[in-house]
Amino acid sequence: MTHLTTHVLDAATGTPAVDVAIELADAGGTVVATGSTDADGRLALGPELLEPGVYSLTFGTGEHFARSGTATFYPSVTVEFTVGDEPHLHVPLLLSPFAYSTYRGS
């Protein structure tokens, strides 16, 4: 079973993306947990342990950019991933108004 964390970095400003709403859902679309990033752009999300399977994280990127008056192409970003038997999974998001990337972190 897996513990999940995420981190959102605003690559356009080089700063953590604060107060980004994030939703964790299972493969059926059932919302498992919600939360918002802290002052360092980080969030531990979900139940303490996730069962193996497919999940998605949806990041409220539009609201993040709207707070600073920045136009963005992406009103939200959804990242789908597979949870195995690892004890910890980190899914970061590098974000700018017109691009994003993600990777399996450590």
Contact 63, 57 (CB under 8 A): no
Structural fold of domain 2-102: Immunoglobulin-like (2.60.40)
99: amino acid identity, one letter: A
What would the pLDDT profile of 39-88 be if each residue is shown by its tens digit?
A: 999 999 888 888 899 999 999 999 999 999 999 999 999 999 999 888 88
What would the pLDDT profile of 84-100 be if each residue is shown by its tens digit?
A: 888 889 999 999 999 99
Among 96, 75, 80, CA closest to 24: 80
* Interatomic CA distance for residues 34 and 61, integer angstroms: 14
Going from N- to C-terminal start, the domains of the chain cover: 2-102
